[in-house]
Amino acid sequence: MIHTHIAEILCVKPKTKKTKKTKTMEEDVKNKKTKKTMKIEGEIVVMKKNLLDFKDTMASLLDRIHELLGRRVSLHLISSLQPDLGIRSFFYSTRLHTYPNEKRGRLGKAAHLEKWVTKIKTSVTAEETAFGVTFDWDESMGPPAAFVIKNHHRSQFYLKSLTLRNFPGGEGGAIHFVCNSWIYPSHRYRCDRVFFSNQAYLPSETPELVKELREQELKNLRGEEKGGELKEWDRVYDYAYYNDLGAPDKGPDSARPVLGGSLEFPYPRRGKTGRKPTKSDPKSESRLALLNLNIYVPRDERFSHVKFSDFLAYALKSVTQVLVPEIASLCDKTINEFDSFEDVFHLYDGSIKLANGHTISKLRDIIPWEMFRELVRNDGERFMKFPLPDVLKQSRSAWRTDEEFAREMLAGLNPVVISRLKDFPPKSNLDSAKYGNQNSSIREEHIEPHMNGTSVQEALEQNKLFILDHHDALMPYLTRINSTNTKTYATRTLLLLQEDGTLKPLAIELSLPHAQGESHGSVSKIFTPSEKGVEGTIWQLAKAYAAVNDSGYHQLISHWYVFELQTHAVIEPFIIASNRQLSVVHPIYKLLHPHFRDTMNINALARHVLINSDGVLERTVFPSRYAMEMSSSIYKSWVFTDQALPKDLLKRGVAVEDPSSDNGVKLLIEDYPFAVDGLEIWSAIKTWVTEYCSFYYKNDRTVQTDTEIQSWWTELRTEGHGDIQHESWWPSMQTRDDLIETCTIIIWIASALHAAVNFGQYPYAGFLPNRPTVSRRFMPEPGTKEYTELEESEEVAFLKTITPQLQTLLGISIIEILSMHSTDEIYLGQRDSPNWTADDEPLEAFKRFGKSLEVIENNIIRRNNDKRLKNRTGPVNIPYTLLYPNTTDYTREGGLTGKGIPNSVSI
């Protein structure tokens, strides 16, 4: 029998001349007869591509035929002790050759998956199937370090793991290979697929016979020889600019600037797709049709079938929720307008309430499609209606109170902007030569009547004054923004910290560029609290304008910028660099990989339908077509090291240094739910990362000599964040502390920070009057028709100012989807496999991490039940659970839970 040689399998081109057999080779062949061969029993777990893919039924049938014809799935184990001495033969082109490769381990005999025909079912559910596999193995070859798999079937399958049972010398009698990868038919690859055991190695500690395999796999992932448009089976991680947001071939109104690669529009890099440029603009990449969701990301970065079905189910449900009220509004006297708050409340009232209990659970169990199982939920949701947002569950008016307006700056969906006021009046950092005087017009006489007897100077000295300041971020864009249908202001909101720990709004400043031009400064109006009459209505409108600013800032900066810079945009370059420069056996890859799950896929979908020209974001958030330009402008001031929570709190002035505390800071607002819970989460993450990194890196020298870490960090800065690569704040990555802090920040951003600004969207903004995203007209002036309307009906004036009906429906549909936890969610402190590493000490440290998160869960429950901490629940009575880890939850129910920290930016 002719055996396949490792050089053919692992893509090493053969030399053109024959290699003579040496004496060593001849002796090896002779001694081979005396070597002891043993049977190794293994189990391999796979999942077929059946769910929501009806074309795969035929492919599954052809796979069975291929099995019967001998075209099977084969596996070869690779020795960690014996080099490949070229004693096996293989066919290369049409000639028989033998080639040695002493840098790689010897290849074992082929083994095949057993009983494929009878075990694999043609199913529409995501089912795992375990196969037996038996290897013939020379005992002298030692434990295998890797294996090669070849798929000779017609279609791909998902390879979850391979476990070798009762292997002599294996930990606990077993060797684990955690794969979690799609395996396409072998003709789709230039090189066959290689998987390593779960043993972690620094590059310098890698067994000699594994080093070349390790390097070759990284070369494959970099795809340096791959050109043209990338296909779903390509495993290429590379960088590209954000040049796929516009559609210039449709006309200039649909064109958008390229973000990244310029001083004017700096931006992090995204994953490369290789699509052709547009005809109108060679710098812009062509786009797929709107309904074509097959955007290239490496196949293993795409949603699981379960998650994708959840995503489609949420989208289908949302479409029905938009269409029903829109059709009804066609018969209304005011099309595309809500006439009263009751009209808005009706979005959540009535409809069909699905059963909650045993009956509906049984029904869901017999529905095979995951998508339809999600449509028929058993959490009490109403069908064809939006779920009632948490902000309305206890009271339909509490959201309008000043206390709740202020509390949401500490415990709402955007608690990462509020800062301490250090100078009064507030000052601007905009260039006065370009924008004139942009300092605040708020004075003592505006706010002191509302300060409970405290003077401005006393409040400053006692650290009692705080500000929600969106002025500088928005002012440079207001002229262009207000040239659209949007009519809005740049806002500043001043607040007083009261004795009971709550914040009290003191004044809201609404500013516009001077009518004679931006260089003449701003024109501002100051509004102060009032409860009754026209003044009370005007105060409610002033709060709405401030909320519009905050909603836009949240979507572009705290969510997308934290979703892409602090979570989405900024994390993607880390994912690309990690896969290009860190081997899967590298300890830091194993540490960070769970926190990259699904991020590239959700970012690609966001570019496709959310942040693209005329996409959902432009249609529902006030900056409109200038939205992404704004996020690019703010990226200029982004600092990676400031994303560490303690540094962020210090920078915003809401905390002061305190060496005696665990995190080195003391909060100035003691009842600040995001910060209190967040610091506990930060501390737990940093402790876990410190223990993990200290196991592999005994000193700074180990970091400095780690070639993969140094290449990773260099590429991350110079390529992934290339537009800001020369900033002095980048860590040098020369010490173990640099590595620990960097990994802690990455995990914090991808998990807890994203959870804090994402999963509160529907609970608070699902009722859009509480968090409007658009304002359509300016504050009514006395003597105008709008002012008369305001005097006659507060509700009509308010609703005609904020987001109209269709945009409201579209907006809350999207945030409902974005606020959902998937049914395959993996939370902080959980891993998808208990065998993710073979090292006992890191496994024990990870268990301690999980235990510390369970303690935090109990702390959060205790604080939420403490009536003295008024900001934990507020007038709307919503307990703060956005940073509740949910580590103890393995139910996999998903939905609008309002709690849980997923490992990654996965929605």
Residue-range domain boundaries for the chain? 6-20+36-197, 401-555+769-802
Q: Which of 754, 770, 856, 871 is catalytic?
A: 754
With 0-12 CB in 10 A as exposed, 13-18 as middle and 19+ as buried, what is 263? Answer: exposed
Task: Give pLDDT, residue 127.
Answer: 75
Residues pairing with 112 in the sheet: 74
Mean pLDDT of the chain: 85
- What would the pLDDT profile of 626-665 be if each residue is shown by its tens digit? 888 888 988 999 999 999 999 999 999 999 999 999 899 9
Q: Helices (DSSP H) in 732-839: which residue ranges?
A: 736-748, 754-758, 761-765, 785-792, 794-801, 805-818
* pLDDT score of 326 more than 90: no
Q: How far apart are CA 288 and CA 545, in angstroms?
A: 36
* Residue 96: exposure state from Cβ atoms within 10 A (0-12, 13-18, ≥19): exposed
What's the pLDDT at 362? 45
Counts of helices then strands in the chain (DSSP H, E): 32, 22
Distance CA 826, CA 903 (A): 6
To the query of whether residue 747 is one of the catalytic residues in this protein, the response is no
* 218-224 LR contacts (CB < 8 Å, sep 24+): 218/580, 218/581, 218/583, 220/11, 220/190, 220/191, 221/579, 221/580, 222/580
Average pLDDT over residues 590-596: 97
Tell me the two tokens of residue 598.
């699904």
User: Is residue 91 scored above 90 in pLDDT?
Assistant: no
pLDDT of 608 over the 80 cut: yes
Q: Is the pLDDT of residue 338 over 70?
A: yes
Which position has the higher pLDDT, 170 or 796? 796
Read off the amino acid at residue 148.
V
Catalytic residue among 568, 593, 595, 821: 568
Q: Return the pLDDT at 8.
A: 47
Q: Give the model confidence (pLDDT) of 721-760 as tens digits.
A: 999 999 999 999 999 999 999 999 999 999 999 999 999 9
846-to-202, 688, 842, 843, 890 alpha-carbon distances in Å: 19, 7, 6, 5, 17
Q: Check if 758 is active-site.
A: yes
User: How many Cβ atoms from other residues are within 10 Å of residue 458's Cβ?
Assistant: 12
Average pLDDT for 591-605: 94
Provide the token pair at 343: 């009209």
Q: What is the pLDDT of residue 350?
A: 60
Domain 401-555+769-802: which CATH class?
A: alpha beta
Predicted pLDDT of residue 554: 72
**pLDDT for 307:** 72
Q: What per-residue confidence (pLDDT) applies to 438?
A: 97
* Amino acid 241: pLDDT: 97
Stretch 824-844: mean pLDDT? 96
Least confident of 291-305, 332-346, 367-381, 621-635: 367-381
Residue 470 bears catalytic tag: no
Residue 226 clears pLDDT 60, i.e. is over it: yes
Pair of tokens at residue 468: 């929600």
The one-letter amino acid code at 651 reads: K
C-alpha 870/C-alpha 410 separation (Å) is: 11
Q: What number is the average pLDDT over the span 111-115?
A: 86
Mark whether 467 is an active-site residue: no
Q: In 367-515, which ranges are continuous DSSP H helix? A: 370-375, 390-393, 402-411, 432-435, 444-447, 456-461, 471-481
Lowest mean pLDDT among 169-183, 569-583, 594-608, 828-842: 169-183
- Give 6-20+36-197's CATH code, choosing from 3.40.50.1100, 1.10.4030.10, 2.60.60.20, 3.40.50.10140: 2.60.60.20
Q: Is the model's pLDDT at 878 over the cut of 70?
A: yes
Catalytic residue among 559, 586, 593, 721: 559
The band of 894, judged by pLDDT with boundaries at 50, 70 and 90, is confident
For residue range 417-469, list pLDDT tens digits in order.
999 999 999 999 999 999 999 999 999 999 999 999 999 999 999 999 999 99
The three-state secondary structure class of 129 is strand
Residue 390 pLDDT exceeds 90: yes
Q: Of the residues 378, 612, 758, 835, which is catalytic?
A: 758
Catalytic residue among 681, 747, 856, 907: 907
Q: Residue 285 pairs with which residues in a beta bridge?
A: 277
pLDDT of residue 49: 62
Mean pLDDT of 864-889: 97
What are the pLDDT digits (tens) for 50-73? 544 444 555 566 666 666 665 688
Alpha helices in 819-895 (DSSP H): 840-864
pLDDT of residue 492 exceeding 50: yes
User: Catalytic annotation on 907?
Assistant: yes
- What's residue 248's pLDDT? 95
Provide the strand spans (E) within 13-109.
37-48, 73-84, 90-92, 95-97, 101-107
pLDDT of residue 552: 75
